[in-house]
Amino acid sequence: MKPRLGVSAYALVCAVLLITACAAPTPAPLLVNAAFWHGRLALRIEPGLPDGTPQAFSAGFELSGNAQSGTLTLLTPLGSTAAAMTWSPGAASLRSNGEARQFDSLDALLRGAVGTDVPVVALFAWLRGEAMTLTGWSADLSQYASGRITARRLQPAPATELTLLLEP
């Protein structure tokens, strides 16, 4: 069976190749009460493809809001929009390459876009510097002051790593 990647996933894969060639600025300390974050993100799913190859996404991002309502824009290395997500209670949408898809929730949107669950509520806690415990996930906030958050899921499969490099 051939793996099914959404249009936004292909855009992110292309961004991975370009972003890896770009130098990353050193992040400054973060504001714990921020409702807006931006920087770069990387998501790696192991094994992401049937041949055992990891599936990886990387992009610039701008995120505002919270787990209940907000927006997430994924950016190409040149700063144009690769995908835009919006959500509110009971609805979420993904716009990419001129196409729009609707989902019942942000969790469903992220699962549909990247092929695995991403812990939305915990993610917003980690962005605020809070060490929220979540079964199967471990978050490394030891470099939070310099703008780096790494979260790993070992169980349930597939193993997943999310890295955020936040900019001031």
String of DSSP letters for 88-155: ETTEEEEEETTEEEEESSHHHHHHHHHSS---HHHHHHHHTT----BTTEEEE-TTGGGTEEEEEE-S
| Residue 84 tokens, joined | 């835009």
Query: Considering only CA atoms, which of 51, 42, 39 is closest in space to residue 161?
Result: 42
154 near 39, Cβ under 8 Å? no
- Backbone φ and ψ of 146, nearest 5°: -100, 5
**Best CATH choice for the domain 7-13+28-48+55-167 from the list 2.50.20.10, 3.40.1280.10, 3.20.19.10, 1.20.58.220:** 2.50.20.10
Could you say which residues of the chain have pLDDT below 70?
Answer: 1-34, 48-49
* Bond before 168 cis per omega within 30 degrees: no
Q: Hey, is 56 helix, strand or coil?
A: strand
The predicted pLDDT at position 162 comes to 96
Quick: pLDDT tens for 12-37.
433 333 333 333 443 434 444 458 99
